[in-house]
Chain A
Amino acid sequence: MTKMKWAVTAATLGALLLAGNAIAADKKVVAVSIPAADHGWTSGIVYHAQAAAKEINAAFPNVEVVVKTSPSAAAQVSALEDLSAGRKLDALVILPHTSEELTMPVKAVKEGGTFITVVDRGLNDPAIQDLYLAGDNIAVGKNTAKFLVDKLGGKGNLVVLRGIPTVIDDERIQGFKDGIAGSDLKILDIQYANWNSDDAFKLMQDYLAKYPQIDAVWANDDDMLLGVLEAIKQSSRTEIKYALGGNGMKEIIKKVIDGDAMTPVETPYPPSMIKTAIYMTVANLIGQAPIRGVVKLDAPLITKDNAAEYYFPDSPF
């Protein structure tokens, strides 16, 4: 029965594609505007956007996905003008540098009749977007917290490393605090380490000097977790049961796959979300699969069982 369904779906999709080919002689253009790779997570965004463009351009001859990276908000505004100046864009997939500066320029593109997909960071005016796709930062904190509550039997001393004062960081911390609420897990200390491995290494050394008994560490990002693990290794302290991160860096996912005792799980805020968004946008464009709305990707706990889904060994992140 299921096989039958698949066959029908495939046939329908194939027919649609053929129809699409017949109607649109010229190519449909999908522009992707993203930040340039300047740290781990954005490097993942660039990798997945380019991978999606390559796959789609090869699979659908009548679609052209163009990826443009910009190092700053101002540069991204210029890039939007350049992308939409020469030709009509059928769709724009954008991960805005900042909400404030990009809202009006994206609106201008929309007024030219372009389908707008916004990823991760929302614009100030949600009416502009046709599709909004993002991860769930609160769930990143909450699911990690629930794992710790469960594994530590609801009791223990935690230290937390947070990133840079931003909404993303605040939401993760908020989710984490909500997650441990009601248990006897105690956050001994919480300090900024700027999503930077070196700062995290130093901060973890200081935590270790300050607190004789730490049961678990949560760094709300995997770059920081790398520094934390190095500091723990140097200290030869044995009481720390878990050191967890977040985001889905390939080195950390690999640890989960290998069954690492200290980092057995991971919570994703995966840069591959840009790929998901590009595919959905293209599906709408050529497959008549209506997708207007808001999509929130969950942050399910990545364990040994499902880690392969999130493991991209060729990605720089």
Chain B
Amino acid sequence: MSVATTEPGRLERDRDFNFNWAAAGPFLALLVLLAIGFVINPDFLSATNLSNVITRSAFIAIIAVGATFVISSGGLDLSVGSMAAFITGITIMCMNMMVPNVGLWSIPAGMAIAVLAGIACGLVNGVIVTVGKIEPFIATLGTMGIFRALITYMSDGGTIPIDRTLREAYRPVYFGTVAGIPLPILISLAVAALGAFILYKTKYGRQCAAAGANEDVARYSGISIIRTRTIAYVIQGACVAIAAICYVPRLGAATPTTGVLWELQVITAVVIGGTALRGGKGRIWGTVAGAVILELIANLMVLSDFVSEYLVAAVQGVIIIIAMLIQRFSK
């Protein structure tokens, strides 16, 4: 038994010694982008700008860590953006409701509710996909509409603002720093580290990849596909909740337009990071790099002067494709 568990570990260490170009791809793309950015506008590398941009990418990075599990297990989740908005709404409403009784304690209590709501939402997605045997694309397209409608209903189409008394106390979760590093960056690093540990070092992580690589083979080896994929969706839900917890203090409100199209950014980050969209292989740290790359591109568009405001989206598309090509040829 002990031999069996040390064996893969040793193999991975061997892989680390032989420089792994495929895994390094997203980081190379990131470096190239930073260099180009510096040439275009030296302000790009200023500490304030970089810390702003990386902090901003934290939501997508945290959600994308969860998506790495879902995608590598052979699933897909289109509902994450709507789910983030829905959980944000629930969190704010619960916090506001608890303020008169428990004061500032409603912040941690609200966070706990957010995580529970996230796990519940993920479980719903997971069960529909696995037990209900509905294509992940369709199942999560359905829940995407449901979550979006719920947040619209809860807010009457307007805004759900957080209670004024909580606003200042909660602010540091997005705007605060520890040792000079913004808190959302630290949170996303912690989530990624935990995700990497689960995906690379635990039995569940290997089952996840096996279920995504070849469902039949995995099933014959005694892996429960239903259990493995459902857990992946639950992890996704928990990640969305953590992102929502970091998101609330930024603008202090949930609206029906919160998190619109985040699902596409999340999937793009995962794929830029080197995870195969058809499943079987997940790269957590690549995913985080992918999320930062996406946000850097948007930032670069504003800081450079030679792209017309009408063409920004086209140039972003070209850069994403080039980033993928750099990866492909660095293999």
A206 vs B257: C-alpha distance in the bound complex, in angstroms? 21
For the complex, count residues of B whose C-beta is within 8 A of A: 31
Given that A38-B157, A210-B43, A230-B251 are contacting pairs, would A196 and B257 also be in contact in the complex, using a CB cutoff of 8 Å? yes
Using Cβ atoms and an 8 Å threshold, which residues of chain B touch A189?
302
Which one, A209, A234, A315, contacts B158 given CB within 8 A? A315
Is B104 interfacial (CB 8 A cutoff)? no
Given that A40-B159, A209-B303, A223-B255 are contacting pairs, would A191 and B312 also be in contact in the complex, using a CB cutoff of 8 Å? yes
Which one, A36, A197, A209, contacts B49 given CB within 8 A? A209
A317 vs B286: C-alpha distance in the bound complex, in angstroms? 41
A190 vs B308: C-alpha distance in the bound complex, in angstroms? 10
Is A316 interfacial (CB 8 A cutoff)? yes
Is A201 interfacial (CB 8 A cutoff)? yes
A69 to chain B, nearest CB (A): 9
Given that A38-B152, A223-B255 are contacting pairs, would A190 and B157 also be in contact in the complex, using a CB cutoff of 8 Å? no
A238 to chain B, nearest CB (A): 15
Is A37 interfacial (CB 8 A cutoff)? yes
The answer to whether A44 and B257 have CB atoms under 8 Å apart is no
Using Cβ atoms and an 8 Å threshold, which residues of chain A touch B125?
none
Is B224 interfacial (CB 8 A cutoff)? no
The answer to whether B157 and A316 have CB atoms under 8 Å apart is yes
Q: Of all chain A residues, which has the CB nearest B252? A: A230
A205 vs B312: C-alpha distance in the bound complex, in angstroms? 17
Q: Of all chain A residues, which has the CB nearest B155? A: A316
Q: Of all chain B residues, which has the CB nearest A195? A: B257
Is A192 interfacial (CB 8 A cutoff)? yes
The answer to whether B158 and A190 have CB atoms under 8 Å apart is no
A162 vs B302: C-alpha distance in the bound complex, in angstroms? 13
The answer to whether A197 and B251 have CB atoms under 8 Å apart is yes
Using Cβ atoms and an 8 Å threshold, which residues of chain B touch A44?
158
Q: Of all chain A residues, which has the CB nearest B260? A: A196
Is A29 interfacial (CB 8 A cutoff)? no
The answer to whether B251 and A205 have CB atoms under 8 Å apart is no
Which one, A162, A192, A198, A210, contacts B258 given CB within 8 A? A198
| Chain A 285-301 interface residues, beta-carbon cutoff 8 Å to B | none
A315 vs B255: C-alpha distance in the bound complex, in angstroms? 14
Given that A47-B156, A191-B302, A317-B158 are contacting pairs, would A39 and B43 also be in contact in the complex, using a CB cutoff of 8 Å? no
Using Cβ atoms and an 8 Å threshold, which residues of chain A touch B43?
209-210
B113 to chain A, nearest CB (A): 22
Categorize the interface residue count of chain A: 35 or more
The answer to whether B302 and A210 have CB atoms under 8 Å apart is yes
The answer to whether A39 and B298 have CB atoms under 8 Å apart is no
A230 vs B168: C-alpha distance in the bound complex, in angstroms? 12
B125 to chain A, nearest CB (A): 23
Is B206 interfacial (CB 8 A cutoff)? no
A223 vs B254: C-alpha distance in the bound complex, in angstroms? 11
B254 to chain A, nearest CB (A): 10
Using Cβ atoms and an 8 Å threshold, which residues of chain B touch A226?
251, 253
| Chain B 283-328 interface residues, beta-carbon cutoff 8 Å to A | 298-299, 302-303, 309-310, 312
| Chain A 275-317 interface residues, beta-carbon cutoff 8 Å to B | 315-317
Using Cβ atoms and an 8 Å threshold, which residues of chain A touch B257?
39, 195-197, 223
Which one, A192, A195, A316, contacts B312 given CB within 8 A? A192
Given that A202-B298, A207-B302, A226-B251 are contacting pairs, would A316 and B159 also be in contact in the complex, using a CB cutoff of 8 Å? yes
Given that A197-B253, A210-B303, A226-B253 are contacting pairs, would A43 and B56 also be in contact in the complex, using a CB cutoff of 8 Å? no
Using Cβ atoms and an 8 Å threshold, which residues of chain A touch B302?
189, 191, 203, 206-207, 210
Is B48 interfacial (CB 8 A cutoff)? yes
Using Cβ atoms and an 8 Å threshold, which residues of chain B touch A207?
302
Query: Which 4 A-B residue pairings sit nearest by Cβ, starting from the closest?
Result: A37-B157, A316-B158, A43-B157, A206-B302
Q: Residues of B at under 8 Å CB distance from A?
A: 41, 43, 46, 48-49, 52, 56, 152, 155-159, 161, 175, 250-253, 255-258, 260, 298-299, 302-303, 309-310, 312
Q: A39-B256, A206-B299, A317-B158 are in contact. List 16 more A-B contacts (CB 8 A).
A: A43-B155, A43-B157, A191-B302, A191-B312, A197-B257, A203-B302, A205-B52, A205-B56, A206-B49, A206-B303, A209-B43, A210-B43, A223-B257, A230-B252, A316-B159, A317-B157
